[in-house]
Amino acid sequence: MGYIELNVLNNDQSPQVMGIDLGTTNSLAATWKDGHPVVIKPEHSNSGSVPSVIHISEDGNVIVGQKALDQATVDPRHTIFSIKRMMGRGLADIQDDLEAFPFPISEDENGLLNIDVHGRQYTPQELSSLILLRVHDLGCRAMGGAEIQRAVITVPAYFDDTQRQATRDSARLAGIDVMRIINEPTAASLAYGLDQSASGNVAVYDLGGGTFDISILSIEDGVFHVLSTNGDTHLGGDDFDRALAKLVLDQLEGKLSSDELADPALQQAARLAAEKCKVKLSEQPEAELHLVLPDSGINVRRNVTREEFEALVSPLVQRTLDCCLQALADANLEVGEVAEVVMVGGSTRMPVVREGVEGFFKRLPHTELNPDEVVAIGAAIQAHILSGGSRDLLLMDVTPLSLGLETVGGAVSKIIARNSTIPCQATEGFTTYADNQTGIDFNILQGERELAQDCRSLGRFKLTGIPPMPAGLARIAVRFHVDADGLLTVTAREESTGVKSSIEVKPKHGLTDSAVEQMLEDSLTNARADFEAGRNAGLVTELGTMIHATEKSLPNVIDQLDPEQLADIREAIDAAREASDAKEKDGKSLQSARDALEQATMPLAAVLMDSVAKAALSGKSLSDV
Ligand code: ADP
Ligand code: MG
């Protein structure tokens, strides 16, 4: 058996990370591949955008994305959209939105919003986590079934602490480990590499589906500061759609009764037709606005020129520019002091918007990247940097050396990689390796080497009070958190009981720059030997656990195994002992001893699993088996 207990330590560090743009209208993920950020698109699709919409059916079936959006006209009562507007908010904060929501929203005694769907109450965090799950799942599948657990998620620059925390919580509900929450305008600037190319002020103009944000940032030595934000939470592409839809609806006036005109299905169909026409007009000088509603016998066509459209929406563009003026004033800047302008959001594809912005800032804005992808791309770049990858030049404040823990056998499990931008945090799962183990000693290490003895110990602490249970069952989450000052706090918590212990260490102090250099150099020259020593130490531990587990469970099931199977197991145990006890550890023999033991104990594992299952059914605890 042993195989189950083999996960003594979960130090498998997946190098793949994701950046997620969790939008009001659309959400999108990107990752890092072959030295570049790439947007994640499902097969046979030219866009990775997932509409941030959820439909929940009576039997609790949840659909997210385009199919849910299709339900908006059919079943509006149970189709939830604009969840981002509710994140970390109370009823009073969203008064302006309530009328537009066809689903009932209330506030519970803790001030948490509840959205009622088929009588069940959902918090915005839960709903948002469903969108994250979907985007994350698409990402993992597009990456060939990879399990990407860690992600950077973006939020508007104006999000306050509660809204950011709510975003974090929804990620937690989705099983995503948030590496960092970053501002959308910062992500967009990262996508354009502005952190590396320039010092100065940057204006990020973000016109999405339902919201407009203008952020003025300053970049200094690769560090971003938000100087001011402005915008309109009720101004976006939807308003452009409505203006256009009015054209056809006006044409129907007189032909339809006012009740027929107010029909939500007609309104929605007109809006969708208008959006199609609007998108075409971004590419061509003229497009058809075609509204069909077969059930009502409505079929209206109308040609719209770009000129006509632009005249119609120019007040909307002007409103965004008024916000820009205010943002500049708040940042105490003149237009001429803005060095770069970045365009974000699907609506900035409209030429009328680009021209308006160019005229206002008197410079050509950045539009080289897809405006609906830049935020996700920037998030992926940040995720890549946080996971230890670097770009040519890294100017952010970073951890100089990796931080980790000593694991059984003297190996090192790295938890925060070298060069992670601070503040940062990471959580890793551990378990006990001996039966009834009630305490664990943690040795916090700093360095790049694979063996604990070659790294610097920053401190030790003990987690005690773990209830006695079989090896491998305890779930211990160890969290490393480095704050903006480089202060490290390590917290260990046993999940089933909540027993907790923590220590604060100062990794930055005590190590001089030259000591850091030396440790890095050592790790390079010794990397190969280290790698082997580390792997061998791990294998020896693994073999020890396997032998122990096998010998312990063998007597209970000996009569259920063939003599031949028994002989195989005994032989494999002897070989494993020999390889582990050898003075000069040999990686190859350790590995083959391990594989042979695993192979030989398979029938034993099967029998054991069987009896565990039976015991569980009859209510016995695992330790009685
Ligand atoms: P959000 O950040 O609010 O989630 P997006 O950045 O995805 O939203 O922007 C969505 C908006 O962009 C929608 O109103 C959509 O109609 C609009 N849009 C997308 N592509 C185009 C285009 N080619 N021309 C004009 N508008 C577009
Ligand atoms: Mg957006």
- In the chain the domains, ranked by start, together with CATH numbers, are 5-236+313-396 (3.30.420.40), 237-312 (3.90.640.10), 403-510 (2.60.34.10), 527-617 (1.20.1270.10)
Give CA separation, 427 vs 264, 269, 305, in Å. 48, 47, 55
Closest CA to 285 of 308, 313, 251: 308
Minimum-distance ligand to the CA of 375?
A: 2
Q: Is 24 in the pocket of ligand 1 (CB under 6 A)?
A: yes
Residue 483's φ and ψ, nearest 5 degrees, are -85, 180
| Spatial separation of the C-alpha atoms in residues 205 and 193, rounded to whole Å | 16
Low-confidence stretches of the chain (pLDDT < 70) are 1-15, 198, 389-400, 419, 421-422, 484-487, 504-528, 530, 609-625
CA of 12 to the centre of ligand 2 (A): 33
Which residue out of 132, 242, 279 has the highest number of ligand 1 atoms within 8 Å of its CB and is therefore the one to mutate? Answer: 279
* DSSP one-letter code for 350: S
Nearest CA to ligand 1 atom 12: 346
Whether the CB-CB separation of 421 and 398 falls below 8 Å is answered with yes
Q: Is 211 in the pocket of ligand 1 (CB under 6 A)?
A: yes
Nearest CA to ligand 1 atom 11: 209
CA of 232 to the centre of ligand 1 (A): 16
Nearest CA to ligand 1 atom 6: 345
| CA 561 from centre of chain | 47
Nearest CA to ligand 1 atom 8: 208
- Ligand 1 atom, smallest distance to 283 CA: 23
Whether the CB-CB separation of 40 and 50 falls below 8 Å is answered with no
pLDDT at 513: 57
CA of 244 to the centre of ligand 1 (A): 15
Structure-token pair, residue 45? 């699709």
pLDDT at 523: 61
**Catalytic residues, which ones?**
21, 84, 184, 206
Closest CA to 87 of 119, 136, 127, 118: 127
pTM comes to 0.64
Whether the CB-CB separation of 428 and 414 falls below 8 Å is answered with no
Q: Is 354 in the pocket of ligand 1 (CB under 6 A)?
A: no
Which residue out of 355, 372, 373 has the highest number of ligand 1 atoms within 8 Å of its CB and is therefore the one to mutate? Answer: 372
CA of 329 to the centre of ligand 1 (A): 28
pLDDT at 424: 78
Minimum-distance ligand to the CA of 372?
A: 1
Q: Is 346 in the pocket of ligand 1 (CB under 6 A)?
A: yes
| Spatial separation of the C-alpha atoms in residues 341 and 150, rounded to whole Å | 30
pLDDT at 517: 64
Whether the CB-CB separation of 30 and 376 falls below 8 Å is answered with yes
Q: Is 348 in the pocket of ligand 1 (CB under 6 A)?
A: no
Whether the CB-CB separation of 239 and 270 falls below 8 Å is answered with no
- Classify residue 400 as exposed, middle or buried by CB count within 10 Å of its CB (0-12, 13-18, 19+): middle
Nearest CA to ligand 1 atom 10: 209
pLDDT at 432: 83
pLDDT at 5: 24
pLDDT at 506: 52
pLDDT at 241: 97
Strand positions, DSSP E, 188-337: 200-207, 212-220, 223-232, 286-293, 298-305
Instruction: Give a three-class secondary structure readout of 448-502.
Output: CCCEHHHCEEEEEEEECCCCCCCCCCCCEEEEEEECCCCCEEEEEEECCCCCEEE
Q: Is 378 in the pocket of ligand 1 (CB under 6 A)?
A: no
What are the residues whose beta carbons fall under 8 Å from the beta carbon of 104, sequence distance 6 or more? 115, 116
* DSSP one-letter code for 313: H
| Spatial separation of the C-alpha atoms in residues 229 and 158, rounded to whole Å | 7
pLDDT at 96: 87
pLDDT at 30: 95
Q: Is 237 in the pocket of ligand 1 (CB under 6 A)?
A: yes
